Each structure stands twice: as C-alpha cells, then as structure tokens.
C-alpha cells in the first residue's frame, strides 16, 4: 500500500489542502494564459524551487517524475516537429511547471485530506439529491490510493513470469492483474463495510 504523500514540515505541508488545491487550479489557468517564454521560464524556476523546498531528494524526485516528464518531452518534441522552437519551449516550460506544482501538492497532501476536500466540494450535489458526497470523496480517495498498488501488482506478475521463465504477454499479464485487483477490491469493500466507513454522513 504505497502513497505519493511525503511526511514533512515544509510550508506547503502546513498550508490548508483547500488553499493548495485552489492555488494549483489558479496556477494551471495562469500558465495557459502566458504565451511568451520569459514568464513561463520564471514560472518553471519558481516551480522547481517549490518542489525542491519539500526536501524529497534528487533520486526519489527523478523516480517519481520521470514517467510524466518523458511524456512531456514527447509532446514537446512533437510540437518542435510540427511547429517552431518557441512553441516547443512554451509547451515544455508550461507542462513541466504544472507537473512540478501538481507533484508538490500531491506530496504534501494526505489522501484523507483529499477525501475531505472532495467530499466538501461534492456537498452541493448531495443537496440536490444527486449523489452522496462522502461516497464521492471516498471513491476518489480510493482511486488515488489504489494506483500505486495496481502498478506494484503488475510488476509482481511480471516477476512471476520471469521466475517461471515465461515471456510476459498482454493477455497473461492482464488476466491475473484484473482478477487480483477485483478480488482485492472485494476485500477492501468488505473492510469499508465492516468499519462502517460508508455510514459517514
């Protein structure tokens, strides 16, 4: 059961989750309003400074950010091929800044806090009789919590293939992964019921 949250006492850790999420949304909008390189470069420098202030360490940071950064690099490269250097640089700086800011919020906000904020945000929908806000919060919290675990399970199945000298194939990886994930989801659902967590209103 892994988490992207990092224990710490930085300024961002101490900020209220709502402030961080609203700040992230505002920064996301602002980044897409800037179209020239100097303000985006400044935003990238500030984002790097914010992320560095968390004290996560270079190696762990690279491990966390590499997959997203590679995706950004591919998008920037594609922009370079079909557009100009300036456009590619704009995409690279904008998305990198956004990635670092989102990663900083994720690393400093526990899933419990996310659940509380999402539940609060969904409250108007509950007033309209459309959903149960607590269920929405719990569901999204569980998605955030499950993603690293499903990845772990995928790697474990890959290892099991290698240990038996089998070549991993899409079908032989996907079927056990789906079965194990569903089985685990059943057990988690039973635990949620047993602990009366869904009764929260």
Partner 1 sequence: MDIRFEEAEARFDGRIVLHPLTLSLSERRIGIIGLNGSGKTTFARMINGLVIPSSGHVVVNSFDTSKDGEKVRAETGFIFQNPQNQIILPILKEDIALGLKNRKLSRQETDVAVARVLQRFGISHLAGRRAHELSGGELQLAALASVLVTEPDILIMDEPTNQLDLKNRELVKRTIEGLDENIMVISHDLELIEDFDRVLLFHEGRLAADGRPADTIRRYRELTR
Query: In the complex, which residues of this chain contact partner 1 (CB under 8 A)?
Result: 1-3, 5, 7, 110-112, 115, 134, 141-142, 145, 184, 187-188, 190-197, 199-201
Three-state DSSP class for residue 195: coil
* Minimum distance from residue 94 beta carbon to partner 1 (Å): 31
Three-state DSSP class for residue 5: coil
With 0-12 / 13-18 / 19 or more C-beta atoms within 10 angstroms meaning exposed / middle / buried, residue 55 is exposed
* Minimum distance from residue 67 beta carbon to partner 1 (Å): 20
Q: Minimal CA–CA distance to 53: which of 89, 4, 122, 100? A: 100
Residues 6+ apart with CB under 8 A from 170: none
* Minimum distance from residue 148 beta carbon to partner 1 (Å): 9
Q: Which is nearer to partner 1, 2 or 169 (CB)?
A: 2
* Minimum distance from residue 102 beta carbon to partner 1 (Å): 19
* Minimum distance from residue 119 beta carbon to partner 1 (Å): 9
Q: Which is nearer to partner 1, 86 or 159 (CB)?
A: 159
Both tokens of 50, joined, read 């914010």
Q: Which is nearer to partner 1, 97 or 141 (CB)?
A: 141
- Torsion sign across C-alpha atoms 146, 147, 148, 153: positive
Q: Which is nearer to partner 1, 93 or 138 (CB)?
A: 138
CA 137 to chain centre: 15
Q: Which is nearer to partner 1, 87 or 116 (CB)?
A: 116
Contact between residue 77 and residue 88 where contact means Cβ atoms under 8 Å apart: yes
* Minimum distance from residue 150 beta carbon to partner 1 (Å): 14
Q: Which DSSP category does 36 fall into?
A: S
For residues 191 and 196, give the distance between their C-alpha atoms in angstroms, rounded to a whole number: 8
């Amino acid at each position: 059961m892994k988490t992207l949250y990092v224990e710490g006492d930085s300024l961002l850790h101490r900020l209220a989750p709502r402030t961080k999420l609203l700040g992230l949304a505002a920064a996301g909008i602002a980044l897409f309003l800037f179209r020239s390189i100097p303000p985006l470069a400044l935003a990238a420098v500030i984002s790097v400074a914010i992320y560095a202030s968390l004290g996560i360490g270079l190696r762990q940071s690279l491990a966390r950010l590499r997959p997203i950064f590679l995706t950004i690099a591919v998008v920037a490269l594609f922009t370079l091929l079909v557009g100009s250097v300036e456009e590619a640089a704009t995409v690279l700086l904008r998305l990198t800044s956004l990635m670092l800011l989102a990663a900083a919020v994720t690393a400093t906000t526990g899933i419990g806090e996310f659940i509380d904020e999402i539940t609060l945000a969904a409250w108007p929908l509950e007033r309209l009789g459309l959903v149960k806000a607590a269920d929405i919060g719990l569901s999204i919290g569980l998605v955030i919590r499950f993603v690293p675990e499903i990845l772990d399970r995928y790697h474990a199945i890959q290892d099991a293939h290698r240990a038996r000298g089998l070549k991993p194939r899409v079908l032989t990886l996907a079927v056990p992964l789906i079965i194990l994930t569903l089985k685990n989801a059943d057990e988690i659902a039973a635990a949620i019921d047993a602990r009366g967590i869904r009764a929260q209103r």
